[in-house]
Structure 1
């Protein structure tokens, strides 16, 4: 059984079901224990989600985590960035002790190939395995270093797909150092959880290849124009494990107006999750 971690509010339950279905579809012979950290998803929604997961012969473990924090922590929360976006980093202190490794996935991620190669990665002494969009961040790296005051770092890792070494984090980590980093850097946070992830765990993240484990639809559009023989649907079908629909453009919001070709993978899985909803919306 593989351990999967989600951290979200009620607004992201819709794409979460699509993500879960994509995991199930690509792993017919495997099972998952899915931990959901949240700060107030309704009982009705959780019951519906649990029924959905049980139909796939997998297990959902919701963990209400709001009480983990105190008012004095002053965790940075805004209209657009909720408490749930931080919760995944506190997994070592919220999950059962026997869970020693877990794969965190943002709800706007889709799985299209087997995850076991990534899930079973050797941490090589690190606390995390994640991907780094160097092509995208190299121009803003000096700004990130100045903004976050981590001048020794040459990297800025994406927090949408993160393999976590919980065994090591429980031994060397400290939840209060995360809270303190959030509190101290609140004015300069742009992508809050990602900023904190890169700030607190600098030099403790092992890099993996984003082209396989965190493919960005916007970047794929450019790559398939520049290198059509190398970047095409056949390559995606064969090699890409995770597509990450990051940014403000979401296929489930924009529908036919969604501008990126990789949206078709989301819509294909969505039809298996919400057939009645989609049929009624077309009338």
Structure 2
């Protein structure tokens, strides 16, 4: 499996924790390749730690981007100030990893994997489908949250809208359909009026051509299961295979609800810091 994360300095610790949840749930799989795209600064600081973390567990492919992504436009919404320009790095991945892989499973840095990803990896996608994703739990349609900039008569306002935190990418189709270029053009065109920038851009670029995944591959409502999560296996009982902490509240913020999710984060963060200290 080719699994990717894209992050800047702010999210580097959290990305390594998320990576650890992948490695922890696939202890006997010998075909894992981790494609990690980050800034040159973060790569310089993290390379040794990542090498130690992945040694004997997965192949490391560490990629870097220049600083151009930092100048891409930000959202107009004040409630999204916790999101850094690193969100745009995911758009660059398909153009940077070369032709060796045919598909790529992209995961956000604020996720936890709780079960085997093989069924997700094997989801069929035909030669017109650039990606598979989960419908967003908060903005379910194109017209949600006041509507998306750039929508016109070609787009059904009730069309399903996906979350970009988990993306199964069909690399040849993505490149052929120029998804990255479409997204960057969208950002430039709507600078100053952006809502959920990279996510809106991807939804327009892949409009009508994406595969909808079951919600458990990008579960955004795990907070509703506390405290029951503390008593049972989330993957087995609550059908949450990938938890996504979408929104301001993260396992590392003070206002996050204590419980099994936060405890797992803190345990794995300690492990990540140990890799850095070796």
TM-score, normalised to structure 1's length? 0.80
Equivalent residue for 1:132, pick from 105, 117, 135: 135
Deviation of 1:144 (Å)? 5.1
2:205 is the counterpart of 1:208 = no
Match of 2:132, SS? strand
Is 1:123 the counterpart of 2:125? The answer is: yes
Task: State yes or no: 1:19 paired with 2:18.
Answer: yes
| 1:215 Cα deviation after fit | 1.5
Q: CA deviation at 1:142?
A: 4.8
- Give 1:258's match in structure 2, choosing from 253, 256, 265: 256
Deviations 1:215-245 (Å, cap 9, x if unpaired)? Answer: 12xx3344679xx7xx885362313211111
Post-superposition, which runs of at least 4 consecutive aligned residues in structure 1 deviate over 6 A?
Answer: none
Question: What pairs with 1:69-88 in structure 2 (closer than 5 Å)?
Answer: 75-77=72-74, 81-88=83-90
Q: 2: distance between equivalents of 1:46 and 1:40?
A: 10
Number of matched pairs: 263
Structure 2: segments with no counterpart, 5+ residues: 76-80
Calculate the TM-score normalised by the size of structure 2: 0.81
| Partner residue, 1:187 | 192
Instruction: Structure 1: state its 5+ residue gaps.
Output: 278-283
Give per-residue Cα distances to partners, 1:116-167, cap 9 Å, x unaligned: 1001110144111110135x32488355545331532511211111100002
Is contact 2:133–2:166 with CA below 8 Å preserved after alignment?
Answer: yes
Q: Are the equivalent residues in 2 in contact too, given 1:24–1:56 (CA < 8 A)?
A: no
Aligned equivalents of 2:189, 2:172: Cα separation in 1: 27
1:273 and 1:42 map into 2 onto residues whose CA distance is: 15
1:191-225 CA distance string (max 9 Å, x none)? 22112111222112211122x11112xx3344679
1:148, 1:141 → 2: CA distance?
Answer: 11
The yes-or-no answer on 1:152 pairing with 2:185 is: no
CA distance in 1, matches of 2:180, 2:148: 24
Q: What are the residue-to-residue correspondences of 1:47-86 with 2, within 5 Å? A: 47-66=47-66, 75-77=72-74, 81-86=83-88
Aligned to 2:190, the other structure's residue is in SS state helix
Cα distance per residue 1:32-83 (max 9 Å; x no partner): 211122233345423233323333432222222227x599xx6325775544
Query: Which residue in the other structure is 1:280 paired with?
Result: none
Q: Distance in 1 between matches of 2:82 and 2:256?
A: 21
In the other structure, the counterpart of 2:39 is 39
Residue 107 in structure 1 maps to residue 93 in structure 2: no
Contact 2:22 2:113 in 1 (8 A): yes
Tell me the equivalent position of 2:78: none
Distance change in 2, residues 1:36/1:11 (3 Å) = same
Give the Cα separation in 2 of the matches to 1:19 and 1:168: 27
